[in-house]
A = this chain, B = another copy of it.
Amino acid sequence: LPPMQSFYQGWLFISACLKQRKCKQVLASTRKLHAGAEGSKVSPSAAPERLPFCRVTEEDLAFFRKILPGRTIVDPDLVEPSNVDWLKSVRGSSEVLLRPQTTEEVSQILSYCNSRNLAVNPQGGNTGLVGGSVPVYDELILSTSLMNKILNFDSISGVLTCQAGCVLENLSFYLEERDYIMPLDLGAKGSCQIGGNVATNAGGLRLLRYGSLHGTVLGLELVLADGQVLDCLSTLRKDNTGYDLKQLFIGSEGTLGVITAVSILCPRKPKSVNVVFLGCETFEQLLKTFQLCKGMLGEILSAFEFLDSECMRLLNTHLKLPNPISDCPFYIVIETSGSDPTHDAQKLHNFLEEAMTSSLVSDGTVATEEAKIKALWSLRERVTEALTHDGFTHKYDISLPVERIYQLVTDMRKHLGNQAKSVVGYGHVGKTT
Contacts and interface: CB of A to CB of B under 8 A. Distances in A.
Interface of A: 4-9, 11, 152, 154, 156-159, 161, 183, 200-201, 203, 207, 210-212, 214-216, 234-240, 243-245, 247-248, 250-252, 256, 263, 265-268, 270-271, 291, 294-300, 337-340, 343, 346-347, 399, 402, 431-433
24 contacts: A4-B234, A5-B235, A6-B157, A6-B161, A6-B263, A8-B157, A9-B236, A156-B402, A158-B433, A159-B432, A203-B238, A211-B211, A212-B215, A237-B399, A237-B431, A238-B399, A244-B248, A268-B295, A271-B298, A298-B338, A298-B340, A299-B338, A340-B343, A343-B346
Given A158-B432, A214-B244, A339-B347, 20 more contacts: A6-B159, A6-B161, A9-B157, A9-B237, A11-B238, A157-B432, A201-B240, A211-B211, A211-B215, A236-B399, A240-B251, A243-B251, A243-B252, A244-B247, A265-B433, A267-B433, A268-B294, A268-B295, A298-B338, A340-B343
Contact of A268 (B244, B298, B340): B298
Contacts of A266: 433
Contacts of A234: 4
A4 to B, nearest CB: 6
A119 to B, nearest CB: 20
A65 to B, nearest CB: 35
Contact of A8 (B152, B154, B251, B432): B154
Given A212-B215, A271-B298, A347-B339, A244 B250 contact: yes
Interface residues of A, dominant DSSP = loop
A212 B200 contact: no
Task: Count this chain's copies in the assembly.
Answer: 2
A337 B300 CA distance: 12
Nearest to A340: B347
A154 to B, nearest CB: 5
Nearest to A301: B339
Nearest to A296: B339
Given A247-B214, A267-B433, A340-B343, A236 B298 contact: no
Contacts of A245: 248
Nearest to A338: B299
A159 B6 CA distance: 7
Nearest to A248: B243
A343 B347 contact: yes
A45 to B, nearest CB: 23
Contacts of A244: 201, 214, 247-248, 250-251
10 A-B pairs with least C-beta separation: A298-B339, A215-B215, A247-B247, A8-B157, A6-B235, A267-B433, A343-B343, A8-B156, A211-B215, A237-B431
A295 B243 CA distance: 34
A338 to B, nearest CB: 6
Nearest to A215: B215
Contacts of A299: 270, 299-300, 337-339
Contacts of A215: 211-212, 214-216
Contacts of A6: 152, 154, 157, 159, 161, 235, 263
A214 B217 CA distance: 10
Nearest to A247: B247
